Amino acid sequence: MPKLYYWPGTCAITIHVLLEEIGNPYTDEAVDLGAKQQLTPAFRDINPKGKVPAFVRDDGSVLTEVPAIAWWLAKTSPQANLLSDDIETQVRTLEVLDHIAATIHMQGAARFWRPGSFISDERLHDEVKAKGRDIVLHGLDILSQTLGAKTWLMGDYSVADASLFFIEYWAKEKVFWQMPDNIEAHYRRMRGRSAVERALKREGLD
């Protein structure tokens, strides 16, 4: 049975949402980031990168990185309709996944939560955090343009919406930043999905 290694409220929530959307059995295990469990030899045997999510497939092989895991889940569970068959929509979906993971999360949110990872001088940490906030909010503005008046980012519900949900949840529930109106409405629609509520419950965030 597949197994997801995660920590509540991290980007791994994207994968939890997708697993709940697909509906196949899986197990999960929390990796305590506060206790640095991700850096222990036991976890590094699973994911040498020392971070979550890590997804162990039925054959024992491990996938890491949210875009890769999300893409694999969508392609191997076509009945869930999480990825369009249209090549243009697929490449635009990949564009969104990469922007969220590489820029909004790792350049923006990471600066806000872990300024010490970017500069050691604590006197400059507030400046680093402010830059991270600007990156996240600018990213949400760009995604607001992508979403426009549509219900879902790609027109139909997809892995892109589950990926955006992580950023929305973080901005709305953890730091209380104002999001663009259509992104706020998207967040409310996501919260209305039973798969999302099940994912939050599994992470103890309901």
Domain boundaries, the chain: 3-81+198-202, 87-193
The predicted pLDDT at position 80 comes to 98
Query: Structure tokens of 56?
Result: 């162990």
Query: Structure tokens of 129?
Result: 């955090």
Only one residue has tokens 């992470």, namely 203
pLDDT in 10s for each residue of the chain, 206 residues: 999 999 999 999 999 999 999 999 999 999 999 999 999 999 999 999 999 999 999 999 999 999 999 999 999 999 999 999 999 999 999 999 999 999 999 999 999 999 999 999 999 999 999 999 999 999 999 999 999 999 999 999 999 999 999 999 999 999 999 999 999 999 999 999 999 999 999 999 98
- Does 87-193 match 3-81+198-202 at the fold level? no
C-alpha radius of gyration, the chain, whole number: 17
Does 3.40.30.10 match the CATH number of domain 3-81+198-202?
yes
Q: What whole-number percentage of the chain has pLDDT above 70?
A: 100
Residue 98: partners with Cβ closer than 8 Å, 6 or more residues away? 67
CATH number of 87-193: 1.20.1050.10
The predicted pLDDT at position 206 comes to 80
Q: What whole-number percentage of the chain has pLDDT above 90?
A: 100
118-157 pLDDT, tens digit each: 999 999 999 999 999 999 999 999 999 999 999 999 999 9
Cβ neighbours of 79 (radius 10 Å): 8
27 bridge partner residues? 3
**Mean per-residue pLDDT of the chain:** 97
Distance CA 10, CA 151 (A): 24
* pTM reported for the whole predicted model: 0.96
Length of the chain equals 206
